[in-house]
Chains A and B, each alone.
Chain A
Amino acid sequence: MVPFAGYQMPVQYEGIIAEHLWTRDNAGLFDVSHMGQLLVHGSDADAALETLLPGDLQLLGDMKLRYSLLLDDHGGIIDDLMATRRGRDFYLVVNGATKHGDIAMLENSLPRGIVVDHMKEQALLALQGPRAAQALEKLAPGVGELGFMHGGAFRIADHPAWISRSGYTGEDGFEISIAATAAAMVADALTADDAVNPIGLGARDSLRLEAGLPLYGHDIDRETTPVMAGLTFAINKRRRAEGGFPGAMRILAELENGAPQRRVGFDVEGRQPVREGARVLDDQGNEVGRVTSGGFSPSLQRPIAMGYVATPLAQAGTALKLEQRSKLFDARVAALPFVPHRYHRKGASA
């Protein structure tokens, strides 16, 4: 157990590699109750929130999720989050380490008629992996009908729950918001299924790295913009045309002309992991970027990393060197994700 964002959190249960592979093959249960769950309500909450983030919330359908970003006036990323429309209200899930700052920022920036409730009494569990749907369907009938990035109200083991088909592993799976008082009972009911094992923070990190998903505070922060981070899918056509979000001038210019740096993956030669903080060098030895996440990929059985490079070097296949503790490693820019996503997209053939 380690302290994180004011919580005691498990790094591992039986071992990071075993838990990682279990999640890719079966179903892993993660306690992510440290994350902030917020409910934003009041008239025109969608339009009000759009002044702080670049997502299209006005057109977001009911019970649908959208990945979005809280931005500062320079276009830097204050946090990344999931927003779900629930009628006229929005349910936001934000990062644990940033939630208090986010809440203060939302309260200070939104008009007086908009209320931000911090749902402190809600726990959040994630059930991820190819056997997640089958396992959860037994306890929460109907969840199998949800498509990727859709949510709804269900009952799980007789407790009311808000469940969405979403997650942070690249696998099919669900996130389950329940009363904290019911969390242990629901977790026990889920892990009673042979397909489900508890998974710690260590495997959560290696799974999301393989899936190419950025971790706030490491791969994205106020020094990075959505364009640098390759998160422009979070800004739709209408918001690009209309602007009206923090940092819009810079971000729209970067959308037009490109950003000086881009977030990329790295395939690392050899077996030694290259981790956050390593320098990225070009063939002349000039520093052209930094590694922001890196480690050993349990699924690929080799080291992988993520970071930023100067945009002209961001093309997949570009040969670069990584420098860690005075040692040079050969690496190539890799397309993200490293391991293909297997989301349950409704209407998709597969």
Chain B
Amino acid sequence: MSLYFTREHEWVRVDGDIATVGISDHAQQALGDIVFAEVPQAGRRVAKGEEAAVVESVKAASDVYSPVAGEVTEGNAAVADDPALVNRDPEGEGWFFKLRLDDAGEVDGLMDEAAYREWVTTL
């Protein structure tokens, strides 16, 4: 299993041809208390960079972009029911959706975990 990040602070964890997508710990901290999350339905096709989910904190609304293209296999009902889960466990239970990758090679252009953690310290 490998973990990648985007400059928009999404993470994607790849296991075979299934990718799980969420927002980073840095992103949830910047957003503050999360009060709303909308996740995509299974079966929806998303392009790389397309808005696939919505996350809103008390302060602000933002889109969650899919870092990779594919077909959604599951939206996380747990974060839609309890949006604060994204604050509590952003890179674990607070994932947004899973998708079946169109092209497993697409993650190669993303940052690996070490590069991302280092990059966010410069922001």
Contacts and interface: CB of A to CB of B under 8 A. Distances in A.
Interface stretch (B29-37, B64-72, B106-114): B29-37
Interface residues of B, number: 12
Interface residues on A, range: 10 to 19
Given A17-B58, A296-B58, A273 B35 contact: yes
Contact of A206 (B36, B38, B54, B58): B58
Nearest to A296: B35
Chain B residues touching A, majority SS: strand
B115 interface: no
Contacts of A18: 33
B36 A11 contact: no
B1 to A, nearest CB: 32
A202 B54 CA distance: 21
A158 to B, nearest CB: 37
A114 to B, nearest CB: 42
Given A16-B58, A272-B56, A296 B36 contact: yes
Interface in B35-84: 35-36, 38, 54, 56-59, 61, 83
Contact of A275 (B33, B61, B83): B61
Contact of A17 (B33, B38, B54, B61): B33
Given A271-B35, A272-B38, A296-B35, 11 more contacts: A16-B32, A16-B33, A16-B57, A17-B33, A17-B35, A18-B33, A202-B58, A275-B61, A295-B58, A296-B36, A296-B56
What are the nearest 7 A-B pairs in CB distance? Answer: A296-B35, A17-B33, A16-B58, A272-B36, A271-B36, A296-B58, A15-B33
